[in-house]
């Protein structure tokens, strides 16, 4: 089956999403931030967290799971730490605020960390980690999610995809940006396969009996209703390929995001029929100058990353990449050609726009690729 894609100019797509959000009572600034994070995911080649999620955000705002004017509250504020209660606010705007606070604290203290509790889906973790790069800092971002993954040797969902991101600046090379789930894939990737009508590859997830899951729709339904089955931890089933390591990383994320700030975690978190559950986040910033001269750090990063990039590829492979390189290249392509969306995703956001009186973003040249 040939996949058909349309391309949309990035600013037009952001503007469309922002106007949809504002029609649902988000402030202009919060709507802009939420739209920017969504489109950034598509532009960086992560469509599972892009505007395909607009419908879930809209449903969350309609049902009150996401509170557009939530009274965001700072519970703890020390020179090196902050804890924020989002009270159900939109995930991206409160996360940007928290990361800015962490960066500001790190300027004076060398490092700082923060938690946000009772929040909502915040998009791609890498967006927030990358906020530290212009400040000559290392950035860290994590979030827990509704329980979607099975523990090693298990077959019932007990924790989330729990992604984490780490960003480090370089000089002439692009920054190192690790942005990954602690499961083999995210639920968003399963949803993409459902939209495409494709069978799931072996090793992504297990069914109710703990055997390889094949049908995306059945898996999504079973995970939601907790009948059994779920995503596998990074490394896959069992211990032979390190699945227990991915499982351990996922629980580490839950501890930092939730246990550290007394928020729900693990199997306590679940989604609704129409929206994602209330989740918590963790952010960090480390000032390079607190350890060494930033210029020397960036130059050494260049040597490290260039060495990786120029190392010989395996037979049959074209190139060796470092984390973040593909995403930066995809962003550059999107600046030239527009942001790619599946035609089905474009139809879905157009229907949302029609419902809220927002004109759809035009397709560049009217072309299907």
What pLDDT digit, counting tens, does each position of 2-13 carry? 458 999 999 999
Burial class (CB in 10 A: 0-12, 13-18, 19+), 296: exposed
Domain match, 125 and 257 both: yes
Whether the CB-CB separation of 24 and 62 falls below 8 Å is answered with yes
Q: What CATH code is carried by the domain that includes residue 56? A: 1.10.1530.10
CA dist., res. 121 & res. 230, Å (int): 19
Bridge partners (DSSP) of residue 167 are 139, 177
- Domain count of the chain? 3
Domain match, 88 and 110 both: yes
Sequence-ordered list of residues with C-beta below 8 angstroms from that of 135, at least 6 positions apart, any chain: 103, 106, 107, 285, 287
Domain match, 29 and 167 both: no
How far is Cα of residue 311 from the mean position of the Cα atoms in its chain? Answer: 29
Predicted confidence (pLDDT) at residue 288 exceeds the cutoff of 50: yes
pLDDT of residue 191: 85
Domain match, 127 and 241 both: yes
Residue that finishes a domain, picked among 175, 203, 231: 231
Reduced to 3 states (helix: H, G, I; strand: E, B; else coil), residue 364 is strand
CA dist., res. 120 & res. 228, Å (int): 25
pLDDT of residue 274: 62
Structure confidence by residue, pLDDT tens digits, 152-202: 999 999 999 999 999 999 999 999 999 999 999 988 789 889 988 899 998
b/e map 51-90, b = 16+ CB within 10 Å: bbbbbbbbbbbeeebbbbebebeeeeeeeebbbbbbbbbb
β-strand pairing of 81-85 with 111-119? parallel
pTM: 0.93
Domain of residue 213 covers: 185-231
């Amino acid at each position: 089956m040939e996949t058909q894609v349309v391309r949309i100019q990035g600013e037009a797509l952001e503007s469309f999403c922002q106007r949809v959000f504002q029609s649902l009572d988000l402030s202009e600034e919060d709507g802009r931030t939420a739209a920017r994070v969504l489109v950034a995911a598509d532009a960086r080649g992560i469509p599972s967290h892009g505007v395909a999620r607009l419908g879930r955000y809209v449903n969350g705002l309609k049902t009150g799971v996401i509170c557009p004017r939530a009274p965001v509250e700072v519970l703890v504020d020390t020179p090196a730490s902050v804890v924020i209660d989002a009270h159900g606010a939109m995930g991206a705007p409160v996360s940007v605020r928290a990361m800015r606070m962490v960066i500001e604290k790190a300027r004076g203290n060398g490092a700082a960390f923060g938690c946000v509790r009772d929040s909502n889906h915040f998009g791609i973790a890498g967006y927030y980690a990358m906020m530290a790069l212009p400040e000559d800092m290392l950035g860290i971002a994590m979030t827990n999610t509704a329980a979607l993954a099975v523990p090693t040797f298990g077959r019932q969902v007990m924790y989330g995809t729990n992604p984490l991101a780490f960003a480090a600046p370089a000089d002439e090379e692009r920054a190192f940006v690790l942005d990954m789930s602690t499961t083999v894939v995210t639920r968003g990737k399963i949803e993409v396969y459902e939209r495409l009508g494709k069978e799931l590859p072996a090793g992504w997830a297990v069914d109710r009996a703990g055997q390889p899951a094949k049908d995306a729709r059945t898996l999504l339904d079973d995970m939601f209703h907790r009948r059994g089955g779920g995503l596998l931890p990074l490394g896959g089933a069992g211990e032979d390929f390190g699945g227990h390591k991915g499982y351990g990383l996922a629980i580490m994320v839950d501890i930092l995001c939730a246990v550290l700030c007394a928020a729900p975690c693990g199997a306590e978190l679940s989604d609704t029929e129409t929206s994602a559950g209330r989740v918590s986040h963790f952010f960090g910033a480390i000032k390079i100058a607190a350890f060494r001269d930033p210029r020397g750090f960036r130059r050494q990063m260049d040597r490290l990353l260039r060495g990786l990039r120029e190392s010989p590829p395996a037979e049959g492979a074209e190139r060796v990449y470092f984390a973040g390189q593909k995403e930066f290249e995809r962003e550059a392509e999107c600046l030239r050609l527009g942001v790619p969306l599946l035609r089905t995703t474009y139809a879905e956001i157009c229907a949302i726009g029609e419902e809220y009186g927002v004109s759809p973003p035009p397709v560049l040249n009217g072309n299907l690729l």
